C-alpha cells in the first residue's frame, strides 16, 4: 500500500458561541473533556482534503466518504490527516497530539447512484422548536432547514474556517464538502433544541456539485432514535439539495443528541 503525504491543519473551533455547549470550554470540561470540541463537520472537512488531492473534482461529483469521530480535537492543536491506498480507495485517519481521533474511508465509484428527489419529502423547519427527545425526533419524521444562500462571502469564510489549502474551491467556485455536511447538522438544530450534543459520524455519497450562487437545503428523515450506554442517539437519512432541483449528497448522519452527562446533571 502507498500513502499520500500527511495533511496538517491547525484546528479551529468555529462553534464556540453556538447553542451547542459541547463546543464551549466550561461545559465540555464539566463533561470530563479538556475543552470545547472542534466540530465533526470541520474534522470531515479536513479529511476531505486527501480524496481531493487523490481524485480532484471527480470525487465531489461521485465519490464517497466516511468518517467516525472517536476522540475530540481541540482548537489550535494540529490535526494530521493520513491517507493510505486500500483496495482502490483511501483509508483515512486523523491524529492530534499523538491520539487517534477519527477514522474513515474515501472511494471513487465509477458513477454516482441515481437518487429520486420525490423519495425525500421537502419540509420547512419547525417554527417552534421542542427539546430533542423521542417525540420531537420520532422515527419516520422529516426535517428541513432554513435555506442557505451560498454567497461569495460565505464561501470565503467557509474555506478560511476549515483552513483549506486546495485552490479547487476558489478557482471553480465549488462548495466545500464541510459546508455540505453541515446542512445535516442544521436539519437537527433548526428543528429541535439541543443543549449539548455530539456528531459521531457520517457516511457520505456525493451526487453532484454545488456552486457559489446556489441555495442549499436538506430533506432528512429520522431513521433511528435509540439509547446506548446512557446516551440518546439519532440517525438521519439526509439528502442535501441545491436549488431544490439538484441532489448534491446523500448522508447517513449519526449523533448523540443527549449525552448521559446531561441526564446525570438533571
Asked whether the predicted pLDDT for residue 166 surpasses 90, the reply is yes
Distance (Å, whole) CA 68 – CA 256:
13
E strand residue ranges, 198-245: 198-206, 215-228, 231-242
Cell 446542512, residue?
A: 183
Is 238:188 a contact under the CB 8 Å cutoff?
no
Across 214-229, average pLDDT = 97
Q: Tell me: the pLDDT tens digits for 167-214?
A: 999 999 999 999 999 999 999 999 999 988 999 999 999 999 999 999
Sign (positive/negative) of CA torsion 93, 251, 181, 70?
negative
**What values do phi and psi take at 41, rounded to 5?**
-65, -30
Query: What's the pLDDT at 25?
Result: 80
Asked if residue 16 has pLDDT above 90, the reply is no
The arithmetic mean of pLDDT across residues 42-51, rounded, is: 98
90 sits in which H/E element: strand 89-96
In this predicted structure, the answer to whether residue 60 has a pLDDT above a threshold of 80 is yes
Q: How many whole angstroms separate alpha carbon 20 and alpha carbon 248? A: 26
Per-residue pLDDT at 2 exceeds 80: no
pTM of full prediction above 0.75 = yes
% of the chain surpassing 70 pLDDT: 98
Residue 266 has pLDDT above 80, yes or no: no
Closest among 185, 190, 182, 189 to 162, alpha carbons compared: 182
Any residues with CB less than 8 A from the CB of 195 and at least 6 apart, and which?
19, 20, 21, 262
Report which secondary-structure segment, H or E, holds 25.
helix 25-30
Beta bridge partners of 217: 241
Q: Measuring CA to CA, which residue among 64, 80, 77, 66 is closest to residue 3?
A: 80
pLDDT, residue 17, reads: 76
Question: Using one digit for the tens of pLDDT, what is the confidence trace for 87-133?
Answer: 899 999 999 999 999 999 999 999 999 999 999 999 999 999 999 99
Lowest mean pLDDT among 125-129, 255-259, 261-265: 261-265
Q: What is the dihedral of CA 241, 138, 41, 34, to 10 degrees?
A: 170
DSSP letter at 165?
A: -
Helix (H/G/I), strand (E/B), else coil: 243: coil
In this prediction, what percent of the chain has a pLDDT beyond 90? 85
**CA angle, corner 95, sides to 92 and 100, nearest 5?**
90
Q: Do residues 209 and 60 lie in contact, with contact meaning Cβ atoms separated by under 8 Å?
A: yes
Domains annotated on the chain, with CATH? 7-265 (3.10.129.10)
What is the rounded distance in angstroms from the CA atom of residue 45 to the CA atom of residue 196?
A: 22
Whole-angstrom Cα distance, residue 128 to residue 140?
Answer: 19
Amino acid at each position: 500500500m502507498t500513502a499520500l503525504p500527511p495533511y496538517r491543519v491547525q484546528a479551529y473551533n468555529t462553534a464556540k458561541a453556538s447553542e451547542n455547549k459541547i463546543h464551549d470550554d466550561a461545559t465540555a470540561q464539566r463533561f470530563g473533556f479538556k475543552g470545547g470540541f472542534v466540530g465533526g463537520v470541520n474534522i470531515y472537512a479536513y479529511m476531505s482534503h486527501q480524496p481531493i488531492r487523490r481524485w480532484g473534482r471527480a470525487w465531489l461529483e461521485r465519490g464517497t466518504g466516511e468518517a467516525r469521530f472517536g476522540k475530540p480535537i481541540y482548537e489550535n492543536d494540529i490535526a494530521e490527516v493520513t491517507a493510505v491506498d486500500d483496495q482502490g480507495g483511501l483509508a483515512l485517519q486523523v491524529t492530534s497530539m499523538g491520539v487517534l481521533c477519527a477514522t474513515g474511508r474515501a472511494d471513487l465509484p465509477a458513477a454516482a447512484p441515481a437518487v429520486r428527489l420525490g423519495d425525500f419529502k421537502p419540509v420547512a423547519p419547525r417554527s417552534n422548536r421542542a427539546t430533542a427527545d423521542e417525540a420531537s425526533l420520532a422515527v419516520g419524521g422529516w426535517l428541513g432547514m432554513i435555506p442557505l444562500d451560498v454567497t461569495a462571502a460565505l464561501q470565503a469564510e467557509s474555506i478560511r474556517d476549515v483552513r483549506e489549502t486546495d485552490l479547487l474551491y476558489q478557482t471553480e467556485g465549488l462548495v466545500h464538502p464541510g459546508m455540505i455536511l453541515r446542512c445535516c447538522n442544521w436539519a437537527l438544530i433548526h428543528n429541535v433544541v439541543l443543549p449539548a450534543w455530539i456528531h459521531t459520524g457520517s457516511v457520505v455519497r456525493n451526487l453532484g456539485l454545488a456552486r457559489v450562487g446556489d441555495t442549499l437545503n436538506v430533506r432528512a428523515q429520522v431513521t433511528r432514535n435509540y439509547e446506548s450506554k446512557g446516551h440518546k442517539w439519532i440517525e438521519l437519512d439526509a439528502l442535501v439539495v441545491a436549488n431544490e432541483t439538484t441532489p448534491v449528497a446523500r448522508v447517513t448522519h449519526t449523533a448523540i443528541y443527549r449525552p448521559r452527562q446531561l441526564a446525570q446533571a438533571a
